[in-house]
Every structure is written in structure tokens, then in C-alpha cells.
Amino acid sequence: MAHEDAGHYAAKHPPDKKLNQDIAGAVKLRVSNGKISCASGHKIAGDLHITPAEVGITIDLLEMRINKCQLGLYGYAPEKRIVKPAETVSPELERAILKALANNRLPCAAAWEIARKLDITKMKVSSACEALKIKISACQLGAF
């Protein structure tokens, strides 16, 4: 949801969706100024052996914002996004991105997997996507 939707993140979910207190406790320990970083959200998911989506739902239900996207797409002040187009994209990286597209977009989880498989940073994948004019979709935490 966009910045103007702040305070209404819970509306993304069914009204009967209940807050998981264990996840909420972990989120509250890592929150700063009403925000939690993407890295912290993923750390909680790993620590609790749950999906990032479950953490994202809890963040929404707590009406908190996610910042510092590990792909550089949102949550950096004052510029908001810090990812810049790569000057060059290796053929191997371009092939991996194109192969992983879903509806002409690269899912966030696929970007992470490409980074892992090619042993490169997540930001390098998102920078390549910027250069190739490919949008990244389906944030694992549900931010977009």
C-alpha cells in the first residue's frame, strides 16, 4: 500500500484475520519509530520458521510500515527508493531474470533466488531489472 494508505494496512486483509501474538511480539521487539526493516521482517520469519508473508500480515495488522527494502525499492529517506539502473547487465543475469518473469514482472522471491544462485547482491538484481525496464512484483512481506 502507498504512503497515503498509512494507518489502513489492516484493511488489506479479511476482517476476521486475527493477530498472531507470537509474531506480533517479535515484530514489536524490532520496530523503530513505527517502522520495521525488510531485513528484520525476514529475520523474524526465519527465526520463527514461518513465511515472510505471515510476518507481513502481522506488520499490517499492527499498522506498522516496512522500510529499507533489500532490493532498494522503497523505504529510504529522503529519496524513498535507492535502486539505480545498472550500467551493464551480464547475459547470465539477464537470462535468469527473463526466465523467472511472471506476467512480465519479476517476483521479489525470484529476485532473491537469482541473487542466491548467482552469488550476487539483491541490489544487483534489482539494478539489472531497472536497466531492463522490468518491474519487481509480489513483495514477500506484502508491501507491494
User: 87-122, pLDDT tens digit by residue?
Assistant: 999 999 999 999 999 999 999 999 999 999 999 999
The share of the chain scoring above pLDDT 90, in percent, equals 85
Name the pTM for this structure.
0.90
What confidence score (pLDDT) does residue 6 get?
64
Distance of alpha carbon 105 from alpha carbon 138, whole angstroms: 9
Question: Which backbone phi and psi does 59 adopt, to 5 degrees?
Answer: -60, -45
> Does the pLDDT of residue 42 top 80, yes or no?
yes
Which pLDDT belongs to residue 19? 94
pLDDT tens for each residue of 60-80:
999 999 999 999 999 998 889
Integer Cα distance of 99 and 80 in angstroms: 29
**pLDDT mean across residues, the chain:** 95
pLDDT score, position 8: 83
Instruction: Report pLDDT digits (tens) over 48-63.
Output: 999 999 999 999 999 9
Cell numbers that stand for 72 in this block: 532498494
